[in-house]
Amino acid sequence: MGTLDYLLQGFQSAFIWYNILFAFAGVLIGTAVGVLPGIGPMSGVALLIPVTASMTGGLPPEQAATSAIILLAGVYYGAMYGGSTTSILLNTPGESSSVVTTLDGYQMAKNGRAGSALSIAAIGSFFAGIVTLIALILLAKPLSSIAIKFGPAEYFSLMLLGIAAVSGLAGKSVTKALIMTITGLLLATIGVDNVSGVARFTFDFPWLYQGIEFLTIAVGLFALGEVFKTILEKEEEDTEIAKINNILPSKEELKESAGPIARGSLLGFFIGILPGAGATLASFFSYIMEKKISKDPSKFGKGAIAGVAAPESANNAASGGAMIPLLTLGIPGSGTTAILMGALMMYNIQPGPLLFEDHPQVAWGLIASMFIGNIMLLALNMPLVKVFAKIIQTPKKYLIPIIIAISIFGVYAVQVSVYDLLLLLACGVLGYFLSKNDYPIAPLVLGLVLGPMIENNMRRALTISNGDYSIFFSRPLSVSFLILTALWLLIPVLMKKRGKDVVINVEG
């Protein structure tokens, strides 16, 4: 079967009535998650994993996995759409990738052009989503075919690169990111060893024999961590929202936005493919590029439409691009895709080169649903901009109990264990203190998800080579990945050190 045949089958799966409902629910919740400052796509996706597990309980395993991932992916790219709303109307980014949008979006809103800014953000996001989906369709099969030729040594080195990439770009300190990554890898070793059958770090607790559950950790660190942060750090709420007059942009604004949307979509897609780069980096780069090539750079920061169109297109394109290494190589490119990977593995679906061969319904059903989801998002965001603006004003006294209830009931419904609830609360407290002290949480989750796979591939490679570690350095692809891993970790440290030396010389 060709790619087109698989895609048509994917659309057949995506057009099942309950999958359409899941896609709609995902993008609607995702938009709301993006609109509410502080929650973010990682927390939103983590929070909904137990909910999807309960909702899809009566379906056959393959269909349940397809429906669940359709909803969770909808939350992911829907949050990218919604993040622009608070940036433009309140000068408060809904999540980190929308920070750049505040520079010109809020200025446009102050000048009475809030409707135009929101519409251009929605149009740019839609175009970027379609561009990345076409690229995903074209690249999925060729990349999977190449990846099938990977041996255990290549997989081990590739996963190390994925971990190093996310760790190297997460947070302000590489050291703190690496500490969190290693913590995640250590947590992944808890439980009965699959090869030897020996219990590791269980301390004779039967509850720990199955290992630390990814779901409990993710929901605790992200969702409950954010709740504790909101409760303990009372911030003064500025509820003054810019007025929305004309929703549709003018012909001149559309013409001005066309170039930035196209360039932002392409740049964002290629940055999204890189493990660890993410939507935030893509939005910053696209904004800088537009400012560099602009005939009048002085208008940026004062309400330039290109300053909204480019970063909003780039962050959506990056979120689509991050799905490529996840689906084809089994390497999550960001914290959110690491959570999506964990969700797939809960349904015994292993992302990677064999995903398109072993589970075509899941892979192509997801891709087809993303087409449908992007159309739904455009239809939602254009006419309902004023409705989503009202969500911003949801009092935290109503929002916090809802998040706590979903977290506790959701985790208990899946795990049916009081110990998991205690771990959930402990992770919530830990998540708050980690974020307060600038320790990034995404590398810990990534380490927890990839840890068992790294260990298994390392063992398989050493079994093939009779314990000879040179297998990782004698294979060209494996050694290439290891060199890239070392460079990814060392270059930021060397650049930081060089920067300090320059400062010392200047001061001296």
Q: Are 485 and 160 in contact (CB under 8 A)?
A: yes
Per-residue confidence (pLDDT) for residue 503, from 0 to 100: 43
Q: Are 84 and 101 in contact (CB under 8 A)?
A: yes
Quick one: pLDDT band at residue 433, thresholds 50, 70, 90? very high
The C-alpha atoms of residue 345 and residue 347 are separated, in whole angstroms, by: 5
Per-residue confidence (pLDDT) for residue 186, from 0 to 100: 92
Higher pLDDT pick, 207 / 406: 207
Per-residue confidence (pLDDT) for residue 318, from 0 to 100: 84
Higher pLDDT pick, 253 / 268: 268
Higher pLDDT pick, 457 / 167: 457
Which distant-in-sequence residues (6+ apart) come within 8 Å of 37 by Cβ?
A: 86, 90, 92, 93, 94, 392
DSSP H stretches of helix in 238-359: 251-273, 278-293, 306-321, 323-329, 335-346, 355-358
Q: Are 369 and 19 in contact (CB under 8 A)?
A: yes
* pLDDT tens figures, 73-84: 888 888 877 777
What are the residues facing 200 on neighbouring strands? 191
CA distances from 249 to 118, 122, 155, 255, 387 (A): 9, 11, 48, 10, 18
Per-residue confidence (pLDDT) for residue 483, from 0 to 100: 93
Quick one: pLDDT band at residue 31, thresholds 50, 70, 90? confident
* Residue 486, token pair as written in the block: 């070392």
Q: Any idea what DSSP says for residue 95?
A: S
Helix axes 360-381, 17-35, angle to 10 degrees: 50
The C-alpha atoms of residue 309 and residue 259 are separated, in whole angstroms, by: 9
Higher pLDDT pick, 57 / 297: 297
CA atoms within 13 A on the CB side of 416: 2
Sign of CA dihedral 250, 251, 255, 256: negative
What are the residues facing 191 on neighbouring strands? 200
Q: Are 319 and 370 in contact (CB under 8 A)?
A: no
What are the residues facing 192 on neighbouring strands? 199
Helix axes 251-273, 278-293, angle to 10 degrees: 130
The C-alpha atoms of residue 175 and residue 182 are separated, in whole angstroms, by: 11
- Percent of the chain's residues with pLDDT above 90: 7
Say yes or no to pLDDT of 96 above 70.
no
Say yes or no to pLDDT of 160 above 60.
yes
* pLDDT tens figures, 308-343: 888 888 888 888 888 888 888 787 767 788 888 888
Say yes or no to pLDDT of 288 above 60.
yes
Q: Are 377 and 126 in contact (CB under 8 A)?
A: yes
Which distant-in-sequence residues (6+ apart) come within 8 Å of 421 by Cβ?
A: 408, 411, 412
58: Cα separation from own chain's centroid:
28
Question: Region 13-36: what's the mean pLDDT?
Answer: 86
Quick one: pLDDT band at residue 504, thresholds 50, 70, 90? very low
CA distances from 12 to 118, 234, 261, 344, 351 (A): 33, 48, 31, 21, 21
Q: Any idea what DSSP says for residue 221?
A: I
Which distant-in-sequence residues (6+ apart) come within 8 Å of 22 by Cβ?
A: 55, 67, 68, 70, 71, 74, 369
The C-alpha atoms of residue 188 and residue 183 are separated, in whole angstroms, by: 9
Higher pLDDT pick, 420 / 213: 420
* Residue 253, token pair as written in the block: 């604004």
Q: Which value, in Å, is the radius of gyration of the alpha carbons in the chain?
A: 22
The C-alpha atoms of residue 30 and residue 42 are separated, in whole angstroms, by: 11
The C-alpha atoms of residue 221 and residue 404 are separated, in whole angstroms, by: 12
Quick one: pLDDT band at residue 282, thresholds 50, 70, 90? confident
* pLDDT tens figures, 174-226: 788 888 889 999 999 998 887 778 888 888 888 888 888 877 888 888 778 87
Quick one: pLDDT band at residue 24, thresholds 50, 70, 90? very high
Question: Region 230-241: what's the mean pLDDT?
Answer: 64
The C-alpha atoms of residue 392 and residue 382 are separated, in whole angstroms, by: 17
Q: Are 329 and 352 in contact (CB under 8 A)?
A: yes
Q: Pseudo-torsion of CA 212, 336, 174, 235, nearest 10°?
A: -100
Q: Any idea what DSSP says for residue 222?
A: I
Report residue 344: phi and psi, to 5°: -60, -40
Q: Are 314 and 128 in contact (CB under 8 A)?
A: yes
The C-alpha atoms of residue 312 and residue 470 are separated, in whole angstroms, by: 46
Question: For the chain, first and last CA: distance in Å?
Answer: 68
Say yes or no to pLDDT of 477 above 80.
yes
Kindly report the average pLDDT of the chain as a whole number.
80
